[in-house]
Amino acid sequence: MRRLFPVTDTTPADDEGEWSLDDLADVYAYPEQDGPWLRANMVSTLDGAAQHDGRSQPISCESDMRIFGTLRGLADVVVAGAETVRLEGYRPARAREAFAARRAAAGQGPAPAIAVVSGSLDLDFSLPLFVSPLVPTLVLTGSGAPAGRIEEARRAGAEVVIAGEGARVDPARAVRELANRGLKRLLTEGGPRMLGQFVAAGVLDELCLTLSPMLTAGDAQRIAGGPSVAVPERFALTSMLEEAGFLFTRYRRI
């Protein structure tokens, strides 16, 4: 059974039937603003695991993937860490007819770009993500990245964006560089280390978190990793949907 917890007025009208993509697009619409808006989409089990056997799919569900697709359908760019790209087998984002009119009205292209964050550029540039995307893939790296790997990325068709000094990418600078290219509706799908860096830099505006009614034990990563912040940052719940024990929540920074 699908249920709606009316935290806001922007919610699907029919809480007994299937959530349409238009319903979900209304719930998860980006706010109207001039600057960038960075949203994260993650899934976690009841005991805090963000993965099982290294992947998020085993703790997800069909409706979670429907929301996943909706969030992509609304974004200008999807930001992911290199490890997540390798583990999850990232492919180019595709154009979806269900979002075509909405994207056109918002001045967006047919599909979001994928932006891969990697300091070492240890990536397989022969993959479809780099050689045959609908929208050119971006590679965010530091100024100290190996010159040969930068050239290989460019030969594959990727746009290389320098967003940090030395071998690391600065999260705040990455957001600015993408926004400077007109990519202001940002979505990050992880992984946990990537999300942890955005949290620590204080640039995460919104978290869309699916709480999976599963227990995994083990030592799987949480949704955000890395050093802790000095003072925990408070977020406010803005919407929550429920189906079969899965909670689909959305929190915004206060």
CA distances from 111 to 97, 102, 194, 200 (A): 10, 11, 22, 29
pLDDT attached to residue 191: 83
Q: Which two tokens stand for residue 150?
A: 């930068």
What is the percent of the chain where pLDDT is above 70? 93
The pLDDT-based confidence of 77 (bands split at 50, 70, 90) is: very high
Mean pLDDT of 51-61: 85
Residue 182 pLDDT greater than 90, yes or no: yes
Residue 14 pLDDT greater than 70, yes or no: no
Mean pLDDT of 133-138: 93
- Give the count of alpha carbons within 13 A of 197, CB side only: 19
Mean pLDDT of the chain: 90
- Between residues 219 and 162, which one has the greater pLDDT? 162
pLDDT attached to residue 11: 47
- What's this model's pTM, rounded to 2 decimal places? 0.90
pLDDT attached to residue 220: 86
Mean pLDDT of 181-188: 97
pLDDT attached to residue 12: 52
What is the phi/psi pair of residue 168, to 5°?
A: -120, 155
The C-alpha atoms of residue 100 and residue 103 are separated, in whole angstroms, by: 5
Mean pLDDT of 34-43: 96
Beta bridge partners of 212: 45
Residue 187 pLDDT greater than 50, yes or no: yes
pLDDT attached to residue 54: 74
pLDDT attached to residue 18: 72
The three-class DSSP label of residue 250 is strand
The C-alpha atoms of residue 53 and residue 110 are separated, in whole angstroms, by: 33
What is the phi/psi pair of residue 198, to 5°?
A: -65, -40
Mean pLDDT of 187-198: 91
Residue 13 pLDDT greater than 90, yes or no: no
pLDDT attached to residue 9: 42
Torsion, Cα 118 123 129 131, to 10 degrees, reads 120
pLDDT attached to residue 2: 54
pLDDT attached to residue 177: 97
The C-alpha atoms of residue 247 and residue 241 are separated, in whole angstroms, by: 6
pLDDT attached to residue 17: 62
How many Cβ atoms sit within 10 Å of the Cβ of residue 131? 14
pLDDT attached to residue 1: 43
